[in-house]
Structure 1
């Protein structure tokens, strides 16, 4: 029995090293605050240790972790003590040296959560539409519509910033 505990710990540490940054970025996209994103990431790994699910492969494991953190972020956003408006403080994990890239990242972070999530997973995490639908537990057509509307909102913002 004592042997399985270190193995579980080693396994979780390896999973943590592999996916912590990705999960943190996803939580930042949802929550907008470093402290909340760190807590959500930690809670996700706690759930992994508690549930100890078996996975078919690494992609299945990654999808499970993303689904868990996404659902956890949604529940945090739904709590009464938290404002629905997500502040961008602590967005330094999304910084870049290119001012144009930084402006685009800030625009993406300013999107409503349902559009921000799909835009982030599609463009920054390179997930195909089908997998985004599975992760967020929505249909492929809903993913496509959210991507389309998210792009439209970004386009409106970008056009509004251009000198006329």
Structure 2
């Protein structure tokens, strides 16, 4: 773990570079700030010393680029629709999305959590099991039951 003095020095020296890399990759200031925090948190938690300043700089660049790539290809980001595009959508499609969201939100808590973690955050059943303290097969059962409830609430096959 890095000392507070080392962290402050690194932030002073490399914060502009990290932000520029993030802005180039993400073109979004909110995501840039998230990745900035992630990068420097990883820096704080790093236990191995750096060989020299060039090694430190190269490590920060690599971690920043990888964090940006991870965010860009994350399940959540690839499955979201901007509010503007949703509002531009024809009314019937907008209504369909609202119905699905309302149906998901009306699920019992244990199902809602599993559905959210699986479909919106992209976690596997095994990962959800660890998060929720459940067995993997229990998570599969919860997802199956949630899908059945959603199918019932949404009126059958048309929603898939």
TM-score range, shorter chain: 0.3 to 0.5
Higher RCO structure, 1 or 2 (CA under 8 Å, sep 6+): 1
TM-score normalized by structure 2?
0.46
- Greater CA radius of gyration, 1 or 2? 2
